[in-house]
Amino acid sequence: MRGALSLALLLTTACATREHIDLPLSPGASRASLRGPHDAPPDDLGRAAPGSASDDPASTSSPNSPSSRGAGASSPPDRPLPDACSGDLPPLASSSPFLALPVERHRPAVVSLPLGATSPRPVLVVAHGAGDRPEWQCGVWREIVQDHGFVLCVRGFPTNRYVPEAHTGYFYTDHHALGREITLALDALRARFPQHVDATAPAYAGFSQGAIMGAMLLPGHPARFARAALVEGGDGLFQEWNIPAAQRFRAHGGERVLFACGRSRCAELARTSAFYLRRGGVEARVLHARGAGHSYGGSMATAVGEAFGWVVEGDARWCLGGSEEGNATATATGEGR
């Protein structure tokens, strides 16, 4: 327990001094929408992704959050869901695409809603970096996922309880605590939207501390995560992956993992972790958004948005299907070794 707490404090200090507190986000520039499956090689998507950013529509901002910066070009319009995704449920309606969701024994999570959904929609669980806020992560992932599924962003605990809530960041004490919070948040989401939520085989996304601890909990979490996007973390720096861990993840329902890196060292480690995952029966790719640094906005968000179609490929609930647009994008950006 003491070792886990020491690791959490180390991650809090390290992450709070890195670029995700000062994101490379210039508001308003369009961020990639959810793409179709890519036909790139299954191991490495190395490239320099174009810069991009947009306003964060979350209500709580800081001097470094997207919503606190000036206006720019508008975001891309939402892509309508295919007819095959239509159902008999009343359309999911809300005055805002975001919802504060009460979670038992924890602070509220933030949810991005699949507005207009008439069939049960899948869930992407998102864990932020230490010193970060779920509002910011949900703003980024809302632009990627749009109305294809629920995005459930868990909050964690304040880094400083004496700082007003609107101005504090949050962190997770250890991966066990994060796992418990995720379980309770999923329960709360199912209770709030019993008809519209399909929480079986959810997807996972994490940045920095959220990615590191995500890699630790994925092989055995009761939610049975099938897919994951680990951004600037969970790449192997803390020896999160080996062949037995990959085999446990596969036996627990794991299918594929995307490692998204903005730093060369992250990409180098991730290639080894991807090798372990493939040996354990899990598909894996490494995306290197060169020059993005330790961040989840800007060019990193663009690159992850373009690759997310691969993460959920094969899961018909996300209602993507094949896409000439997605394949053309994969070729044009030079994905591959």
pLDDT tens digits for 157-207?
A: 999 999 998 899 999 999 999 999 999 999 999 999 999 999 999 999 999
Does 283 fall in a domain? yes
Q: What is the pLDDT of residues 260-271, one digit of tens each?
A: 999 999 999 999
Residue 127 has which token pair? Answer: 């864990």
At 310, phi and psi to the nearest 5? -70, -40
Does 39 fall in a domain? yes
**Would you place residue 80 in the very low, low, confident or very high pLDDT band (cuts 50, 70, 90)?**
low
Does 294 fall in a domain? yes
Q: Which residue has the higher pLDDT, 12 or 222?
A: 222
pTM equals 0.78
pLDDT of residue 54: 32
Q: Which residue has the higher pLDDT, 17 or 206?
A: 206
Radius of gyration of the chain from Cα atoms? 18
Q: What is the mean pLDDT of residues 98-118?
A: 98
User: Please, what sign has the CA dihedral across residues 11, 17, 22, 24?
Assistant: negative
Does 231 fall in a domain? yes
Asked if the model's pLDDT at residue 39 lies above 50, the reply is no
- Domain with 24, as residue range(s), is 2-332
Q: Evaluate whether 281 touches 247 at the Cβ level (below 8 Å).
A: yes
Does 104 fall in a domain? yes
Does 69 fall in a domain? yes
Average pLDDT score, the chain: 80
**Would you place residue 81 in the very low, low, confident or very high pLDDT band (cuts 50, 70, 90)?**
low
Does 177 fall in a domain? yes
Q: Which residue has the higher pLDDT, 71 or 284?
A: 284
Q: Which residue has the higher pLDDT, 28 or 243?
A: 243
Asked if the model's pLDDT at residue 71 lies above 80, the reply is no
The mean-pLDDT minimum among 45-49, 206-210, 283-287 falls in: 45-49
pLDDT of residue 223: 99
Cα–Cα dist 121/114, whole Å: 7
At 126, phi and psi to the nearest 5? -125, 130
At 262, phi and psi to the nearest 5? -105, -10
Q: How many domains does the chain contain in total?
A: 1
CATH code at position 82:
3.40.50.1820
Asked if the model's pLDDT at residue 310 lies above 80, the reply is yes
Does 337 fall in a domain? no
